Structure 1
Amino acid sequence: MKTIQAIKRLPIRTYLAGRGLYPTKDNPRYGLYLSPLREERTPSFKVDYLQNLWYDFGLGAGGSIIDLVMRLERCDFAQAIRFLGSGERTPMVVPVSSSVPPTVPALRLLSDIPLRHPALVGYLSSRGIDPDIAFGYCREVHYAINGWEYFAIGFRNDAGGWELRSERFKGGISPKHITTIDNRSDTVIVFEGFMDFLSYLSMKKQ
């Protein structure tokens, strides 16, 4: 029987391939899939190959391969460990105990501080974004995924959630919502993401 840490290192993409699930977009760092957890037409299920973690942008949840097996095989933690540790590939359909929450947010907010980490400031500059502009709208957000701590550029939405971005990660902390900024104008400009918004402001300044 493998240890839990060894099980968490089992490639998520290999597990998904065993279920006949393959990415619609693939590169050495991550793959984008149509979510296996719900119906969708635009892929929003990301598997980070380097960290071996998954995140479903539509659900606002993610985690390790164990978390994914619990959801897809509809089993509890101990059953997922046995399933992965034994190398078994027969899906288990076991009712989940009512004491197990059906949805557990994968990203946990630890803190938000003024944006200052050199890696994040350097990433903004590499994208052609003026850091001085970003400082006025963004924060440095520290968060945890299954006990592992990370940090990213954070852009808060109207519901109190965060959109997160760094050189190696794109995700968010629930709840998902839009962000509105009132500049006392009758003109409305809509951006798909906050990086587009910051890029626009940087170009406008130039």
Structure 2
Amino acid sequence: MTTQEAKKIRIADYLQSLGYIPAKQQGKSLWYKSPFREETEASFKVNTELNQWYDFGTGKGGNIISLAQELYGSDYVPYLLGKIAEQAPHVRPVSFSFRQQASEPSFQHLEVGELTHPALLRYLQERGINTALAQAECKELHFVHNGKPYFAIGFPNVAGGYEVRNRFFKGCIAPKDISHIQQSGELREKCLVFEGMTDYLSFLTLRMKNCPTMPNLDGQDYVILNSVSNVTKAIDVLHGYERIHCLLDNDEAGRKAYWELAGEFAGHIRDFSQNYNGYKDLNDYLCGKRQNLTVNPPLRTIVKPKKKGLGL
């Protein structure tokens, strides 16, 4: 995808594909609750005529490239174009009307149940993920999106929303937020941080493969960002942990997210992405999909991997 091709995508349609819907409409402007933070009043505006956005909370705005820069925490244009291209198959033209949007939300008739559909389990298996582990962590969602019925894997977050995945669809059911998985009512000493649900499920699969005879492997809590734009929300939750281990992506957005966390938790945080250096993320490491990364390797604390597992 080129820059010009990306700029032809309507920002409102792109936000819709990610699960963000406007709270109100004023003429040519659509107002959203900002995708960059939690808020009660909509302060994020999209001008549908100019195809430009502006966030009054940060004073930033621009085109779809600058939006992706904020969403994915990177200013490396080839990386941003790749992220937009990944989402492009899920972008559908939407005729927004505040009256219509108020009465007909993006995701309708949501039904939440146990994860059992063979197609969804097969999708997980193709990603190398243990389906029994995924069934314990995820739900099966059935819903209507833009007038069409869908079913997908749903990964719950702390605000009551879901990350939504199947072979053909990637998005979220708002509100978008982090996921915080605690093993007990009190915070454990250690917390592991992942970028997305697939990375988290890949970690659980790898851990089970490397330690199949250990009766109790849940010695720590987990935070899943569900987007690098949620780092600020994660910071609030991570206060109180003595040790924070990050297993983020080996790309510019992952490095930026790590350094943002490291600036807050210096002395308590370690980076474990070097343990799968040469792979974009934990799922690629699980599947053996080594990549030639287009950015330089991160200059972070290097943790020497053990012969098996991730050295945790």
Pick from 65, 76, 95: which aligns with 2:93?
65
Match of 2:76 in 1: none
Structure 2 CA distance for partners of 1:125 and 1:175, relative to 1, 3 Å: same
The share of aligned pairs that are identical, in percent, is 33
Give distance in 2, aligned partners of 1:109 and 1:177. 21
Structure 2 CA distance for partners of 1:121 and 1:37, relative to 1, 3 Å: farther
Shift of 1:106: 2.0
Match of 1:95 in 2: none
Within 5 Å, which residues of 2 pair with 1:129-168? 129-168=129-168
| 8 A Cα contact 1:108 1:173, kept in partner | no
Match of 2:123 in 1: 123
Is 2:174 the counterpart of 1:174?
yes
Question: What whole-Å deviation, never above 9, does each CA across 1:38-94 have from its counterpart, x for those lacking one?
Answer: 23224566332xxxx52xxxxxxxxx4242xx4xxxxx5xxxxxxxxxxxxxxxxxx
Structure 2 CA distance for partners of 1:22 and 1:187, relative to 1, 3 Å: same
Is 2:8 the counterpart of 1:21?
yes
Structure 2 CA distance for partners of 1:101 and 1:151, relative to 1, 3 Å: closer
Shift of 1:190: 0.6
Shift of 1:177: 0.7
Match of 2:88 in 1: 47
Give the AA of the match of 2:125.
Answer: S
Structure 2 CA distance for partners of 1:66 and 1:176, relative to 1, 3 Å: closer
Give distance in 1, aligned partners of 2:178 and 2:166. 20
Structure 2 CA distance for partners of 1:152 and 1:66, relative to 1, 3 Å: closer
Give distance in 2, aligned partners of 1:105 and 1:155. 20
Is 2:207 the counterpart of 1:204?
yes
Give distance in 2, aligned partners of 1:150 and 1:101. 19
Give the AA of the match of 2:176.
Answer: K
Match of 2:267 in 1: none
Unaligned stretches of 5+ residues in structure 2: 11-45, 54-60, 62-66, 73-79, 210-312
| 8 A Cα contact 1:115 1:135, kept in partner | yes
Over the aligned positions, Cα root-mean-square deviation in angstroms equals 3.3
Give the AA of the match of 1:189.
Answer: L
Match of 1:187 in 2: 190
Give the AA of the match of 1:65.
Answer: P
Q: How many residues align?
A: 140
Structure 2 CA distance for partners of 1:65 and 1:137, relative to 1, 3 Å: same
Structure 2 CA distance for partners of 1:37 and 1:100, relative to 1, 3 Å: farther
Structure 2 CA distance for partners of 1:151 and 1:197, relative to 1, 3 Å: same
Give the AA of the match of 2:157.
Answer: N
Give the SS at the match of 1:188. strand
Give distance in 2, aligned partners of 1:170 and 1:20. 20
Match of 2:114 in 1: 114
Shift of 1:37: 5.1
Structure 2 CA distance for partners of 1:109 and 1:174, relative to 1, 3 Å: farther
Per the normalisation by structure 2, the TM-score is 0.39
Unaligned stretches of 5+ residues in structure 1: 1-12, 24-34, 55-63, 71-75, 77-97
Give distance in 2, aligned partners of 1:163 and 1:20. 26
Give distance in 1, aligned partners of 2:99 and 2:117. 40
Give the SS at the match of 1:189. strand
Shift of 1:187: 0.6
Give distance in 2, aligned partners of 1:193 and 1:148. 26
Within 5 Å, which residues of 2 pair with 1:57-96? 64-67=92-95, 70=96
